[in-house]
Amino acid sequence: MKISADLKKIFMGGLAMLMLLSISSCGKNIAFQNSIVVPAANGSVNVTKDSNKNYLIKIKISDLAEVNRLQPSKNVYVVWMETDGDIVRNIGQIKSDSGFLSSKLRATFETVTAYKPSKIFITAEDDGDIQYPGMQMILSTNQF
């Protein structure tokens, strides 16, 4: 039995569309809003759900000033996650490619959480183990 060329094209097109949809539904890629404190900083957050129904959060940032150069000077950048119930959690500190921030001022962050994030933001803090964010907001996403 021969399959017509048109039917074959439709099948291949449908298969390509299915693959594209499955790749794009794997996660959300959310850009940070422009920073007032560090205007050159930019980056994005990628949130995906893994096979255990946990959320993998990956952050990439470039042109982020060293935290001790801010006014007022701080010791660490802390990453926060807001959940649907407006609960805010400290999910870690930003690490850079080499040392705290590399000479290229690039930083990455990765963590896994059981809670679904609705917003990610970064503050500059004196202590990385704090339970509530301070007032020096560096980068933030919109609600997603």
Determine the pLDDT at residue 27: 75
Per the model's pLDDT, the better-predicted residue between 65 and 16 turns out to be 65
* Out of 13-22, 45-54, 128-137, least confident range: 13-22
| Cβ pair 97, 104 in contact under 8 A | yes
Determine the pLDDT at residue 23: 42
Q: Which residues contact 72 (CB under 8 A, 6 or more apart)?
A: 136
Q: How far is CA 140 from CA 8, 25, 36, 112, in A?
A: 47, 23, 11, 19
Q: Which of the listed ranges 4-13, 16-25, 97-106 does the model predict with the highest average pLDDT?
A: 4-13
| Cβ pair 79, 94 in contact under 8 A | yes
Residue 33 has pLDDT above 50, yes or no: yes
The whole-model pTM stands at: 0.77
Residue 25 has pLDDT above 60, yes or no: no
68-96 residue pLDDT tens: 889 999 999 999 999 988 899 999 999 65
Nearest to 94 by CA among 115, 64, 73, 71: 64
Residue 128 has pLDDT above 50, yes or no: yes
* Residue bearing tokens 């990628």: 46
Query: Mean pLDDT across the stretch 41-54?
Result: 94
Residue 21 has pLDDT above 50, yes or no: no
